[in-house]
Chains A and B, each alone.
Chain A
Amino acid sequence: MMPFTYERALDASSAAKAAAQPGTKYIAGGTNLLDLMKLEIEKPAHLVDITRLPLRQIEATGDGVRIGSQVPNSDLAAHPLIRERYPVLAKALLAGASGQLRNKASTGGNLLQRTRCYYFYDAEKPCNKREPGSGCAALQGFNRIHAILGASDSCIAVHPSDMAVALTALDASIETLLPDGSKRTLPIGDLYRLPGDTPHIETTLKPGELITAVVLPAPPAGNQTYRKVRDRASYAFALVSVAAIVRVDAGRVRDARIAMGGVAHKPWRAVEAEKTLRGKPASMASFAAAAQAALRSAKGHGGNDFKIPLAQRVLTRTLADVAGIEGAA
């Protein structure tokens, strides 16, 4: 870990000003940042501690909810508003990490988690995300956990968050504060970037821009669920995950919001699947067709080829579950 100076922010605007300086990073829960700093993958020279900013409220806002960016993951999962109205989010949070990590990890920090790609995590290996221009060791390497959608020749890493997948299905938006004191709100879909040839630039946040809150619109009508597939029963990152919100009325799918995790550089909104599904009979055939549409552009890299049928199967089943449809026995 590089030496760094440290300050504790007492208000958001001075935090954003301080963080606009080169080499500066925010620290909140620290569960990912310190992990990476120990390996000198993250090398900030100055840390701005934002854990004591007054950003810990979860409050109803008309039909929706505003979640302060410093709300720990476990508080968010346990909050009655979330459990009752946004179960997909509570389930996604509870499927992630461990009790200890959820107690520490913040809402904002969870959004900004960096990939678990082995080669990104190993400073000896080429990685365009860590060291732009150095190459991608995963492309020809062991890529069992890597992306099947939206990847590039520069990077096939996946975003590791469960929470962000649920937020993507929920059409959450992100409120931020910029160093100049201005505020903006951006849809979660606009927060993340695909790798392209700049995989080191993961979000559209500007230098010093501070995530202050995540805002959920009114819960969409329909049932919500989150399904996570992983190599062990707990405490493992997703191979594939699905957040699904489906409204069925008179045997037809009226609305569907679907996001997938473990498949792309960002939480992947399955727009094609949603389109395919809308207005169709709530049947296994429709769900299978939607899953097929979701994976139509998927591309494997050898080790992760299995994720394509896996995602398709799990998506099909999750849609059936959330729609309350039993498969043929």
Chain B
Amino acid sequence: MSDEPSLSIDRRTVLKSGVAVGVIANLPAIADGAEVKVAQPVNVTVNLRINNQTHALTLDTRTSLLDALREQLGMTGTKKGCDHGQCGACTVLVNGRRINSCLTLAIMHDGDQITTIEGVGAPDDLHPMQAAFIEHDAFQCGYCTAGQICSAIGMLKEAADGWPSHVSANLTGGVTLTDAEVSERMSGNICRCAAYPNIVAAIQAVRGGEA
């Protein structure tokens, strides 16, 4: 049904639902030995545009954008912390917006502009946000850091566009990025080392043009 040239499905069998469902482990008995059809993986090809480079990939439809980056492309800067949208470590920018790459399918993103931490800056060519994170010690173990930085970049754009937040005093009066505003807007990125105050400081420094 798809007319997109970059997206072709090489196996079109629509599988019947309920096939080969794992037996719930605490049910009293194993299902009898009747022959059960095992669902076959489906591969599709997709062109992903990541950090201004196009990658043609053949992917299992089940592949999350996160796993495509990490396991297919070896771009491991984007991290898997929970795989369920509960931590933010996998945050990337898609068409300039921050999203959780664990909760989206790679095949849904052909044609999108995807920016990962590798595209934000390099050790010898740091983005101001990256430099500010170093200067303000806005990380410890470093595992949530890529997600924090991508999220911070996306967040500043949202604020610049005048988007209010949960803690905004009013919805229509424009955005003043107080520390409380930054904290609320960055709350989708968990840092168990709890560098939060330093993350806020780093973002404020970038916003203020200090970094």
Check A-B contact in the complex, CB < 8 A.
Answer: yes
- A residues at B contact (CB < 8 Å): 1-10, 14, 18, 21-24, 27, 29-31, 34-35, 37-38, 40, 43-47, 49, 51, 74, 77-78, 80, 83-84, 87, 90-91, 94-95, 97-101, 103-104, 123-124, 131, 134, 233-235
Known: A83-B164, A100-B151, A124-B26. A5 touches B172 (CB 8 A): no
* Residues in chain A near residue B137, CB distance under 8 A: none
Is B104's CB under 8 angstroms from A100's CB?
no
User: Which residues from A are CB-within-8-Å of B61?
Assistant: 3-6, 47
Interface Cβ pair total, 8 Å cutoff: 171
CA distance A234 to B1 in the complex (A): 41
Closest 3 CB pairs of A and B: A98-B188, A23-B17, A234-B187
- The answer to the question of B209 belonging to the interface, with a C-beta cut-off of 8 Å to chain A, is no
Residue in contact with A83 in the complex, picked from B11, B102, B154, B171, CB distance below 8 Å = B171
Q: Knowing A45-B19, A234-B187 are in contact, say whether A94-B165 is a contact too (CB < 8 A).
A: yes
Task: A247 to B104: give the CA distance in the assembly, Å.
Answer: 42
Known: A1-B62, A7-B9. 7 other contacts (CB 8 A): A30-B103, A34-B102, A40-B21, A78-B164, A87-B171, A103-B97, A123-B24
B138 within 8 A of A: no
Given contacts A3-B42, A9-B1, A40-B22, contact A100 B163 (CB under 8 A): no
- Residue pair B14, A8 in contact (C-beta under 8 Å): no
Q: Which residue of A lies closest to B165 (CB)?
A: A94
Q: Please report the C-alpha to C-alpha distance between residue A44 and residue B22 in the assembled complex, in whole angstroms.
A: 14
Residues of A within 8 A of B105 (CB): 6, 27, 30, 34, 47
CB of B25 within 8 A of CB of A124, answer yes
Q: Which B positions have Cβ atoms within 8 angstroms of A?
A: 1-4, 7, 9, 11-22, 24-26, 39-42, 44, 60-62, 64, 83-85, 88, 91, 97-100, 102-105, 107-108, 151, 154-155, 158, 161-166, 168, 171-172, 183-190
Q: How distant is the Cα of A234 from the Cα of B102 in the complex, in angstroms?
A: 20
Question: Across the interface, do B103 and A124 meet the contact criterion of CB distance under 8 Å?
Answer: no
Closest B residue by C-beta to A45: B15
Chain A residue with minimal CB distance to B21?
A43
Contact of A5 among B14, B154, B164, B183 (CB under 8 A): B14
A23 touches B104 (CB 8 A): no
Closest to B11 in A: A5
Cβ distance A44 to chain B, nearest Cβ, rounded Å:
7
Contact status A100-B100, CB under 8 Å:
yes
B3 touches A10 (CB 8 A): yes
Contacts of B64 in A (CB 8 A): 34
How many Å from the CB of A245 to the closest CB on chain B? 15
- For the complex formed, measure the closest distance between the CB of B200 and the CB atoms of chain A, giving whole angstroms: 13
